[in-house]
Amino acid sequence: MIRTATPADVPVIHAMVRELAEYEKALDEVRASEEQLREALFGERPAAFAHIAESDEGEAVGFALWFLNFSTWRGVHGIYLEDLYVRPTKRGGGYGKALLRELARICVERAYERLEWSVLDWNTPSIDFYKSLGAVAMDEWTVNRLTDDALHRLGTGG
The pLDDT value given to residue 158: 81
* Chain segment 24-51, per-residue pLDDT in tens: 999 999 999 999 999 999 999 999 999 9
What residues act catalytically?
A: 130
Closest CA to 15 of 29, 43, 39, 34: 34
The pLDDT value given to residue 25: 93
The pLDDT value given to residue 35: 98
Segments in the chain below pLDDT 70: none
